[in-house]
Structure 1
Amino acid sequence: MHPDAHKISQQFPLLEQLQRLLDDETASLKTGHMQNLQQVASEKMRCFAQLEQMKSSNSEFRNTLESVPGRSLLTEILRKNQLNGQIIQALMRFNQGAWEIFFGNSQPIYTDLGTTRSTPANHLIGSA
């Protein structure tokens, strides 16, 4: 992180709050404390929306974000958000795999077009 990025985050408490929320989200995901995750994710989305609004309405804020330390800070925020997204995707794949192990891999009976298919060969066998 650029040395001035911390100064920028202090000037704009929203950025500092967003960093804390992303760190909280990462900690919740890593420790499995999912009860906090929904609240943190909602607050994070609110902060991202406020950030977008500030970017479009405040030219000083926009200029600060376009500076080298501002871009560095935003890059770090986006990297953390992407990492959290990757953790969530991995957890979803794990849960889906566990579901299939415990309850079997049940293929849908109907296709998106409303036609039925045979399970073994997945060939269309009629329409609903």
Structure 2
Amino acid sequence: MYPNDSADSQESLLLEQLQALLDDETECLKSGRMAELQRIATEKMRCFADIQSRMGPARQPSKNASDDAHLRNLLNDIMRKNQLNGQIISALERFNQGAWEIFFGAQPSTYSDLGTAKSSAERHLIGSA
């Protein structure tokens, strides 16, 4: 067993854990279980940090080409799943923004950024003539 074999197996376990978290995230996004997303996002960031600390720029390839191929395939799958989840989140954000504009209009806000009320000429309240 080579010294890198132990590190490779730890990296592989972390990548598989990250892959499972991304699968859970996808299922939460598709099913609307948004309450679980915060926990998953926290675990995902911790996992990303662990992987980043282990896979530095000085990482040497293992002596086993199939292990390297397995890690590369895991990384490609993780990148694809993370991109898909990002696309789902972007679509949900656009949907929510559209719903917000339908319900509340795209009118300027009643209050300024400082929390003071704007003049009636600067705002338009729902139902006003």
TM-score of the alignment, normalized to the shorter chain, above 0.5: yes
More off after superposition, 20-29 vs 66-75: 66-75
**Across the two proteins, how many residue pairs are aligned to each other?**
105
> Per-residue CA shift, 1:47-68, capped at 9, x if unaligned?
11111110018735xx25x933
Query: Which ranges in structure 1 are unaligned for 5 or more consecutive residues?
Result: 1-7, 111-117, 120-128
TM-score w.r.t. structure 1 length?
0.68
Counterpart secondary structure, 2:55 = helix
> Per-residue CA shift, 1:86-120, capped at 9, x if unaligned?
0000000000000000000024698xxxxxxx98x
How far, CA to CA, are the matches of 2:50 and 2:96 in structure 1?
33
Determine whether 1:46 maps to 2:46: yes
Identity %: 55
Computing the radius of gyration over CA atoms, which structure comes out larger, 1 or 2?
Answer: 2
Query: Which ranges in structure 2 are unaligned for 5 or more consecutive residues?
Result: 1-7, 113-120, 123-129
The residue type equivalent to 2:12 in the other structure is: F
Partner residue of 1:22?
22
The residue type equivalent to 1:93 in the other structure is: R
Structure richer in strand, relative to its length: 1
Residues 1:53 and 1:81: Cα distance change in structure 2 (over 3 Å): same
The residue type equivalent to 2:106 in the other structure is: N
RCO higher in 1 or 2 (8 Å CA, sep ≥ 6)? 2
Any conservation in 1 of the 2:12–2:71 contact (CA below 8 Å)? no
Deviation at 1:9, TM superposition (A): 7.1
TM-score w.r.t. structure 2 length?
0.68
The residue type equivalent to 2:85 in the other structure is: N
